[in-house]
Structure 1
Amino acid sequence: MSIRETTEMLLSGKFICSVTAPEAFNDLNNPETHETIGALLRPLNRKISRTRGGNAYYAAWINLEANSDRDAVTREFDAVRNQLRPVITFVLELMDCDLRDHPLNVGDIVSEAEIVTILENNTFLNERNTALLRLLNSKHTNSPVPVQVRTVFDSMKKFGIIAETIEGSRRFQFTGKLEYIYEVLEFINSREQILEKNAEEQNTAVQGDVFNG
């Protein structure tokens, strides 16, 4: 993948990981290419950031002095915040389906067909999936289970949380964005009491901390 393509992916808000773009991910692991792309981003008030676990790269803001940049950050923050609850609900649902007691991680594979089979035989989990569809404002809450599950998976794919292993297989891998979502959730939870004291002021501070990478 060319340096231009990788730079454009970062600027478009994509998370680059070994699942979604292995070639670009390897390029960013190369110090020379990493510096070249970083130099291209700096005049645009952006820098390359990496999740703490090291499984994804993304473009973060360098500073938020310009009003236009603050507006852009607010939009990005709102988009991520709106995804948090559905994504975490999805992860918890899959953990219950698999009877595991540890979170799903980048690279973990999940089969849509297997989840359909489990939900069709478990009323409780089926109801949880319907609740997730309500969070997603879906019109398929009363649809057959296979349609409901496909709708949820398509939403998570659109969020960039999962990617299909082979086109049309309906088997998915979790992407590096999941690691980022975990970090944002942890960050917000650690500052929940502060946010309650002065919501508007602290919300702006959280946006800056999160999107400055």
Structure 2
Amino acid sequence: MSIRKTTEMLLSGKFVCAVTSPEAFNDLRNPETFETVSSLLRPLNRKISHTKGGNAFYASWLNLDDNSDRDSISREFEGLRNQLRPVISFVLELMDCDLRDHPLNVGDIISEAEIVTILENNNFLNERNVALLRLLTTKHASAPVPTQVKFIFDHMKKFGIIAETIEGSRRFQFTGKLEYIYEVLEYINSREQILEKNADEQQLAVQGDIFNG
């Protein structure tokens, strides 16, 4: 993939991983390409960061005190915060459907049809699915299970958490962004006291730790 396209992907907020963009992911693992893209991002107050597990690259902020970028940083933080609860609820529901006792990971494959079948035959899990749906929308709560599940999967795809293995197959793989979500959740859980809703200074501290990469 061209350096320009890789740079544009990062600037658009996308996570570059082996699932969504294998060519760009491999390019960024090359030190020379990494430095070239980094040099293009620096004048835009960005840098390349990666998850601790190394399964995803993403653009983070160089200087959070730049007033010209403050609104963008706040919007990015709010968008992420709004995704956390639905994404974690989605992962926990899938673990219950699969009777797993360990987290889902980058590259794990899930089938929409299989989840529909499980939910249609399990009232408890079906109720959990409706609760997850209500985190995303006030609509579709009384819709058939296949409609509910499709809506949820489409939302997770929009969030960048899953990607379709083959277009139209409705089989999905978890992307590198899942690893990032786990890391953010771990950070927040370890510092729960700084998430008071009306504590602006504390929120800025969270933004700084998360978006400085």
TM-score (norm 2): 0.98
Aligned to 2:147: 147
What is the deviation of 1:197? 9.9
CA displacement 1:54-94 (0-9 Å, x = unmatched): 00000000011221212111100000000000000000000
CA contact (8 A) 2:105 2:178 kept: yes
Sequence identity percentage: 81
User: Which residue matches 2:169?
Assistant: 169
Secondary structure at the aligned position of 1:110 is classed as: strand
Q: Which residue identity does 1:206 align to in structure 2?
A: V
The answer (yes or no) to whether the contact 2:107–2:173 under 8 Å persists in 1 is: yes
Q: Match of 2:47, SS?
A: strand
TM-score by length of 1: 0.98
Which deviates further from its counterpart, 170-179 or 181-190? Answer: 181-190
Counterpart of 2:39 in structure 1 is 39
TM-superposed CA distance for 1:198, in Å, is 7.3
**Aligned partner of 1:126: which letter?**
N
* 1:130-209 paired onto structure 2 within 5 Å: 130-196=130-196, 199-209=199-209
Amino acid aligned to 1:9: M
Partners in 1 of 2:196 and 2:63 — Cα distance?
25
Aligned AA (1:156) = M
Render the CA deviation track for 1:129-178: whole Å, top value 9, x for unaligned: 00001000141110001101101100000000000000000000000000
C-alpha contact 2:194 2:206 (8 A) present in aligned 1: no
The 1:149/1:198 distance shift into structure 2, 3 A limit, reads: closer
The 3-state SS of whatever aligns with 1:172 is: strand
Q: Equivalent residue for 2:89?
A: 89
Aligned residues: 213
Q: Which runs of 5+ in 1 are unaligned?
A: none
Aligned-pair RMSD on alpha carbons? 1.1
Q: In 1, distance between residues paired with 2:196 and 2:211?
A: 20
**8 Å contact kept, 2:51–2:179:** yes
Matched residue type, 1:159: F
**Structure 2 residues without counterparts, runs of 5 or longer:** none
Alpha-carbon distance in structure 2 between the residues aligned to 1:188 and 1:180: 12
